[in-house]
């Protein structure tokens, strides 16, 4: 983590642990809201909404209290960094850069079309 991230986490941790009641309230809040955000994000993967962003927010919230969530968030960050390097190589040829850009655009168009199709299918179903 960067020094800015460490400083922010230290300030949040200091505020959260300012008193015993606040510490318990923050821990309970994080423990309840974090998984709810993750579940909502998973649902948004097939429903309209920013699923990956919400999953990331849920993990970030859990990372404020739990070391395992920090570890998972770090693994996700490294994985996304590798995916970004594959899609948008900094040292690749112009052809490879354009191919990565077109492939990324194709994935975005395909997932948007799939989300629209699922939404239309669900919307066309009648409730009895």
- What's the mean pLDDT when you consider all of the chain? 85
Pick 122 or 92 by higher pLDDT: 122
**Stretch 44-73: mean pLDDT:** 87
- Is residue 128 pLDDT above 70, yes or no? no
| Residue with tokens 């993750």, as numbered in its chain | 38
Same structural domain, 61 and 11 = yes
Based on the fold, state whether residues 41 and 73 are members of the same structural domain.
Answer: yes
| pLDDT exceeds 90 at position 121 | no
Of all residues in the chain, the percent with pLDDT exceeding 70 is: 96
Question: Residue 36's pLDDT band (boundaries 50, 70, 90)?
Answer: very high
Look at the block and give the residue holding tokens 């800015």.
Answer: 4
- Look at the pTM and tell me if it is higher than 0.95: no
pLDDT in tens, 77-110: 888 888 888 777 778 788 887 888 898 899 999 9
44 and 96 housed in the same domain: no
For residue 116, give its domain range: 89-128
71 lies in the same domain as 123: no
Residue 127: pLDDT band (50, 70, 90) is low
- With both helix axes pointing from N to C terminus, report the angle between 51-63 and 67-87 in degrees, rounded to the nearest 10: 140
d(CA 16, CA 22): 6
Residues in the chain: 128
Mark whether 62 and 74 lie in a shared domain: yes
């Amino acid at each position: 983590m960067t020094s800015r991230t460490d400083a922010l986490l230290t300030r949040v941790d200091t505020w959260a642990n300012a008193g015993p009641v606040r510490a318990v309230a923050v821990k309970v809040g994080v423990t309840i809201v974090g998984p709810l955000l993750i579940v909502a994000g998973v649902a948004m993967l097939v429903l309209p909404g920013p699923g990956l962003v919400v999953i990331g927010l849920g993990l970030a919230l859990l990372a404020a209290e739990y070391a395992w969530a920090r570890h998972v968030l770090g693994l996700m960050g490294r994985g996304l960094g590798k995916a970004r390097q594959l899609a948008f190589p900094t040292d690749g040829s112009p052809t490879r850069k354009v191919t990565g850009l077109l492939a990324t655009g194709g994935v975005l168009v395909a997932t948007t079309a799939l989300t629209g199709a699922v939404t239309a299918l669900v919307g066309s179903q009648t409730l009895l």
